[in-house]
A and B are shown apart, each in its own frame.
Chain A
Amino acid sequence: MTDETAPASNAEEASDDAAPEPELCHGVPVTRSRGQRVAHPSRARLVELVRALHQEGYLQCLDVTGVDYLAHGGDRHLPEGLAPERFEVVYQLINHGTRERIRLRVQVPADDAVVPSLFAIHPGTEAPEREVFDMFGVRFAEHPDLTRILMPEDWVGHPLRKDTDAGRIPVQFKAAPASR
């Protein structure tokens, strides 16, 4: 396909064909999603994996975002043996040397929504982690300044959670002005 942004997969097609058994990346199960490489570390292994990838050349963490899977009824394409949880924190890492990308999907349970912060390795995750906290209420341990970033400080709730109601601002309708 000339029309996609993941030429990263070109380099790996060979290994993809050769190894049908579950692929591992530093001991973490890896799946493919539309040709893109996705690793599924547990929360405990996240920092270790990111550090190992950083050593390997994945120098930049491009994006951190969250997904609330509360209302998702379908297949989540997780590797075998990995229990799905309500929240997922998704990281996009890039290796400029080999022009490869990897995506990390971390399962985060709703009753203990804390993920280790990557701030110490990638300081550029400071603002997006705040955004994930603001939008989903997932906390990042060891984050230097975990405050809301997009919503006002006194906002209650986390807007991108699937159980957040929308449109709660009461609208006061006025009668049409009398014609003179």
Chain B
Amino acid sequence: MSTIEHHADAAVSPHHDGVVQTGEGSQELTSRDLTAAAERLRELGAVLRMSEADAAQAELEAAPDDETMIINMGPQHPSTHGVLRLMIELQGEKVLRTKPIIGYLHTGMEWTGEELGYMQGSTNVTRMDYASPLFTETAFSLTVEQLLEIEVPPRATWIRMLMNELNRMSSHLLFLATNGMDMGAVSMMLYGWREREEVLRFFEKVTGLRMNHNYIRPGGVAADLPDGWRDDVLRLLELIPPRLDEYDVLMTGQPIWRERLQGVGAISTEEALALSATGPVLRSTGYAWDLRRDQPYLAYDEVDFDVVVGTFGDCFDRYAIRLNEVHESMRIVRQILEHLPKGDYRIQDRKVTPPPRARIDESMEALIHHFKIFTEGFKVPEGEAYCAVESPRGELGCYIVSDGSSKPYRMHIRGPSFYNLQTLPHLMHDGLLADAVAIISSVDPIMGEVDR
């Protein structure tokens, strides 16, 4: 079917007969009379809250088509956090339906993952969630290690935890910055970026890069922590708490900030669970589910921290959760500084880890291993595994199918933002257009991970 015919068809009647064989119809929000009832229910979020009869009644009372307007927001709107495009049906200022349209940043990274060896894999996955790259690397590495059935040395595990928690701080600081900007608190944007930069400076010292680190790799981490890292972390831990107190003064207690966020975009626990939302969106409803505590990975069962939950599931709760998770992350980092064990920073298994440079000159074995690892990579036994970590946005999972070769047969990343975006139509329903920006911001989507 050619493009032109196809668009003409979509304009006439895409879903009228109710048959779901339409396939490649329009991704856009269509006007009410052209949208099938089931789809309209989905867009209204009604499937979650009311029976079909109630929903049909609500449909009858809803405005006729000529009183509503569909507007397009994005994909290059300053407040849509990247290339997110929303089509919003409005009645006056009230939002009736919303449809996120994604894919503008789709670069086929899952496909690329199948073309790269396991050694190269973390270079690829780190580019998915560019605000918290170390989490994707961790999930990928944990899955590969599970497939290989190897255990990394304790020091590597604790370094991973340290980097993960610092990354959670930088990601949440970025959220505070952009959330502030979306609300019109432009100074907050500058403060958030400033503090995040301090964390990124530490990352640059450790990994060589501010973003897209490729630091956490199957078998351990790329390099040991550099000299003086402890002082740098201590400096961060001294620097950030007073700044967070400033944020409290600037925003948390401020009446304008509360008016803009409290009661806006509320969601219940049942709805969040049904829509597969995780992370702060789920926790804001008062549901205490944090993989770090409930299904501990790395060494999170050996550190002490609190899971921050909200009460009302509104934008303010999501803001407050993230602000307080920065405090909790710092608490974990302090414990890591105390307990970081000595030892290897990567597994001493020559099949997985390249030998140190000095060994290559003196050992034939080392040279062979070096050559094998960098030409064909290491082979991973057949099988499939799924591992998940708690990223700043929710459950970040990695599913790998191996066929026994040195490249993943299938590599899939469960991006939390992709799923959390599904709550948007629900959060925005019956709200005001002016609140739409607050709601998008509070879900904190990272489009690199949504589109992959």
Which A residues are closer than 8 A to B by beta carbons?
1-8, 33-36, 38, 59-63, 65, 67-68, 71-75, 77, 90, 92, 96, 99, 101, 103, 119, 122-128, 131, 133, 135, 139-155, 159-160, 166
Contacts and interface: CB of A to CB of B under 8 A. Distances in A.
DSSP class of B's interface residues: helix, strand, loop or mixed? mixed
Contacts of A35: 146
A74 B382 contact: yes
Contact of B399 (A90, A146, A160): A90
Given A2-B299, A62-B414, A124 B276 contact: yes
B42 interface: yes
B240 interface: no
A151 B107 CA distance: 10
A5 B291 contact: yes
B385 A33 contact: yes
A92 to B, nearest CB: 6
A140 B20 contact: yes
Contacts of B48: 123
A37 B384 CA distance: 11
B106 A99 contact: no
DSSP class of A's interface residues: helix, strand, loop or mixed? loop
B383 A34 contact: yes
Nearest to A121: B274
B410 to A, nearest CB: 5
B124 interface: no
Given A144-B42, A145-B42, A147-B27, A3 B145 contact: yes
Given A35-B146, A159-B111, 7 more contacts: A3-B297, A60-B274, A92-B399, A96-B294, A123-B274, A146-B23, A154-B24
Contact of B26 (A75, A141, A147): A147
Given A124-B274, A127-B418, A142-B20, A151 B401 contact: no
Interface in B249-291: 273-278, 287, 289, 291
A3 B157 contact: yes
B103 A151 contact: yes
A127 B297 contact: no
Given A5-B295, A7-B295, A65-B412, A166 B111 contact: yes
A68 B278 CA distance: 28
A33 B23 contact: no
A146 B385 contact: no
B397 A63 contact: yes
26 contacts: A2-B154, A3-B145, A4-B387, A5-B297, A6-B295, A7-B295, A7-B296, A59-B273, A61-B276, A71-B409, A72-B403, A74-B382, A92-B414, A96-B289, A127-B421, A139-B20, A139-B21, A144-B38, A149-B102, A150-B103, A150-B452, A152-B103, A153-B3, A153-B6, A153-B24, A154-B24
A61 B419 CA distance: 10
B391 to A, nearest CB: 12
Given A33-B383, A150-B451, A144 B399 contact: no
Given A34-B147, A149-B27, A144 B295 contact: no
B161 to A, nearest CB: 11
Given A6-B146, A149-B102, A124 B295 contact: no
Contacts of B452: 150
Contacts of B241: none
A154 B103 CA distance: 13
A166 B114 CA distance: 12
A123 B277 contact: no
B330 to A, nearest CB: 23
A80 B415 CA distance: 33
A58 B151 CA distance: 29
Nearest to A160: B111
Interface string B135-173: 000000010011101011010010000000000000000
Contacts of B404: 74
B20 A62 contact: no
Nearest to B26: A153
Contact of A74 (B152, B154, B403): B403
Contacts of B401: 67, 72
Interface in B370-399: 382-389, 395, 397, 399
B22 A123 contact: no
B6 A3 contact: no
Contacts of B414: 62-63, 65, 92
Contact of B419 (A77, A128, A149, A166): A128
Contacts of A149: 27, 102-103
Contacts of B152: 3
Given A74-B382, A124-B276, A5 B103 contact: no
